[in-house]
Structure 1
Amino acid sequence: MSDAEKGGFLAKVIGPKRRWWAYKARVKELPPNYRAAVEAIERYLMHFGPVTGDSAAALFEDVADLFERAAADGTPIREIVGEDPVEFVEELVRNYRKGGYVDRERARLTQAIESIERAEEHR
């Protein structure tokens, strides 16, 4: 793979390079335990996160925001990610998935039909 191809691949995976390097600089400034947690999340997302491009950049930036606030407040890592770190990250991914609006609309449709069904039962 040529350098140009690698650059295009990276842009698809992580978004614009400038955003990526800004994110990495922010992570580097975190206290060691928070930085290690963010890097672990990042590694997981690189392997299993089905988000790419701008949505990936936004996801990584939001993770940095979350951990910056937590570090400032002294919030323990486990309190951030909960008992199941994989589920924590999977929930993040669900919120940033490119077709996320599709999931919301599916839920909206299901809720509408259930609401109609309840109304019919009360007639």
Structure 2
Amino acid sequence: MSDAGNGGFIAKVVGPKLRWRKYKARVERLPSNYREAVEAIERYTMHFVPIDTDREVAKYEDLVDLFEQAAADGTPIRQIVGADPVEFVETFVKNYTEGGFVPARARKQLIEAIARAGSRG
């Protein structure tokens, strides 16, 4: 196989991992209540079956973009996710994947985590 072929394969494997690490570093820099909300959303979305690694990473990059901007603007978490965080996340995820399965327990955990994060700001 040529170097170009290997570079393409390596880029497909390593690229998403590097992007994921950058995403996680951005999440760590968020104020604690915004970070808690993003991490809750992240846990919830892990129940969806990924179709495309690049689209999955893009989803999380877009999520942190949204919360970074909200934190900078002082937008309350509940104003971002609304009254029903499950509806917010499932609508958000539809832009990146088709289908998936989320158990009731995960829905409850998301609702509770957003309630905790939202009560602090």
One-letter amino acid of the counterpart of residue 92, structure 1: F
Cα distance per residue 1:68-102 (max 9 Å; x no partner): 00000000000000011011000011111269xxx
Q: 1:85 & 1:67 partners in 2: Cα distance?
A: 14
Please show how residues 1-123 of structure 1 align to structure 2 within 5 Å.
Answer: 16-47=16-47, 49-52=48-51, 53-97=53-97
Contact persistence 1:51–1:93 (CA under 8 A): no
Q: Distance in 1 between matches of 2:98 and 2:54?
A: 9
Separation (CA, whole Å) in 2 of partners of 1:57 and 1:98:
15
Q: TM-score, normalized by length of structure 1?
A: 0.65
The residue aligned with 2:111 is none
Q: How many residues are aligned here?
A: 86
Cα distance in 2 for residues equivalent to 1:98 and 1:86: 16
Q: Secondary structure at the match of 2:50?
A: coil
Q: Distance in 2 between matches of 1:32 and 1:22?
A: 18
Contact 1:50 1:93 in 2 (8 A): no
**Cα contact 1:38–1:64 (8 A) shared by 2:** yes
Contact kept in structure 2, 1:20 and 1:57, CA below 8 Å: yes
Give the alignment's TM-score, normalised by structure 2.
0.66
- RMSD in angstroms over aligned alpha carbons? 2.1
What amino acid maps onto 1:91 in structure 2?
T
Distance 2:20 2:79 in 1: 26
The structure in which a higher percent of residues are helix is 1
